[in-house]
Amino acid sequence: MDPVKIMKAAERGAETTARLLADLISIRSLSGDERTVVERIGSEMSDAGFDEVRVDGLGSIIGRIGSGKTVIAIDAHIDTVGEGNRALWSFDPFKGQVRDGKVWGRGAADQKGGMAAMIAAGRMMKELHIEDDFTVLFTGTVMEEDCDGLCWQHLIKEEGLKPDVCIITEPTGLNIYRGHRGRMEMELAVAGRSAHGSAPERGDNAIYKMARVALEIERLNSRLTGDDFLGKGTIVVSEIGSSGPSQCAVPDAARIYIDRRLALEDTKELAVAQLQAVCELEKIADFKVSVPVYKNAAYSGKIYPTEKYYPTWSISEDHRAVRAAGSACRELFGAVPRIDKWTFSTNGVAICGMHKIPCVGFGPGFEEQAHAPDEWTPVEHLWKAAAFYAAFPAAFVRSKQ
């Protein structure tokens, strides 16, 4: 397909795509409450002539175009975070607006813009008869903001989706991204022995023990390493609590909550072992490290428990998927953009991190807009991303040869 034709069709559809994004923003869809936005996306996909539209058991929507051999998934999560402090917004976050060449509202960048551009791409593929030996699965996935990758664990393990490659449409500023650090959450409990507050020497104060552990975790953070591309791992004590018989007693239990960002070589086992080593270094005899389990219900009612472990992923700069993305950009835009990584985490933790399906990021909007007040995305990004999603499948099939 002639890239000039794709670009012209995409630009002609710019206003429609922008208005669709404004509509999607106006349908509030916090994690676990995506039913209405899924219904709207489904009717848009059907209207655009997608070959099949279905909803999986967790409530994610899958629109298919084509039935060829190479399977290409293009993914957008369709839940958003809340508004945060409403006073920081200069307009209603859940009333999408198109003005000054931008679309404004919660989810404009993170990441309903990706979904709007995907629907525009599907429509173009049908109108321009962009076909080859490929199947494209446009997925609008749920609960990402709450538990990244859960939706894709479900698509892969329960629905049998096995794409050869996946484009993640989270905001990249139309640059090509090829990875990000992983993350996990941990809980550490330390036990002491209670005694009357008037005689602390009779007890074993769990708070004092945990305080020493927390300070050692601060030192562990400075020792963590990583690679040049994704950067170093980090560890943060994010919450602390304690309990005992009363406020006038030596506490017999203390617990902390930990946010751990994972570098290229960091695994769950390593992160847990590091925390155990900290406790051993501080000569804590009675402690327990655990990885919490996410078990919130989807809007479909389904509970699909998973550990809060979101593995790191990256693919090399000369991977076929990155090269195909580069050649699609060169043909459409006349240049290959920056090849980079996300600071935050995406559904790639499951698709590539757990299941080793190569992922490439290419999305409208800017990373810095994610979760920020007065969120926006340029209209120009929307139609250019749509052109990219329409052109990438053929570029990927060609890259095989």
Q: 79 catalytic, yes or no?
A: yes
CB of 17 to Zn ion, least distance (A): 19
| Of the candidate residues 79, 110, 204, 331, the single one contacting Zn ion (CB under 5 A) | 110
For Zn ion, give the closer residue by CB, 81 or 214: 81
For Zn ion, give the closer residue by CB, 79 or 252: 79
**148 near Zn ion, judged by CB under 5 A:** no
**56 near Zn ion, judged by CB under 5 A:** no
Residue nearest to Zn ion (CB): 110
Q: Which of 34, 75, 79, 164 is catalytic?
A: 79
**347 near Zn ion, judged by CB under 5 A:** no
Number of residues that bind Zn ion (CB under 5 A): 3
Phi/psi at 301 (5° precision): 100, -15
The C-alpha atoms of residue 166 and residue 173 are separated, in whole angstroms, by 18
CB of 77 to Zn ion, least distance (A): 6
CB of 108 to Zn ion, least distance (A): 12
The C-alpha atoms of residue 222 and residue 351 are separated, in whole angstroms, by 30
Token pair, residue 339, equals 């090849």
CB 274 within 8 A of CB 220: yes
For Zn ion, give the closer residue by CB, 111 or 205: 111
Q: 201 catalytic, yes or no?
A: no
CB of 148 to Zn ion, least distance (A): 8
For Zn ion, give the closer residue by CB, 36 or 343: 343
Amino acid at 84: G
Residues in a beta bridge with 63: 53, 138
For Zn ion, give the closer residue by CB, 110 or 164: 110
CB of 89 to Zn ion, least distance (A): 19
**Ramachandran class of 322: left when φ > 0, alpha when ψ lies in -120 to 50, beta otherwise:** alpha
**Binding pattern for the stretch 162-191 against Zn ion, x by CB under 5 A and - elsewhere:** --------x---------------------
The number of CA neighbours under 13 Å toward the Cβ of 123 is 24
CB 76 within 8 A of CB 118: yes
CB of 111 to Zn ion, least distance (A): 5
| Of the candidate residues 17, 31, 111, 399, the single one contacting Zn ion (CB under 5 A) | 111
Q: Which of 44, 56, 110, 144 is catalytic?
A: 144
CB 256 within 8 A of CB 187: yes
For Zn ion, give the closer residue by CB, 186 or 352: 352
**367 near Zn ion, judged by CB under 5 A:** no
| Choices 29-37, 105-113, 283-291, 323-331 (CB under 5 A): range interacting with Zn ion | 105-113
Token pair, residue 122, equals 């599907």
| Choices 98-106, 107-115, 263-271, 377-385 (CB under 5 A): range interacting with Zn ion | 107-115
Residues that bind Zn ion (CB under 5 A): 110-111, 170
The residues annotated with a catalytic role in the active site are: 79, 144
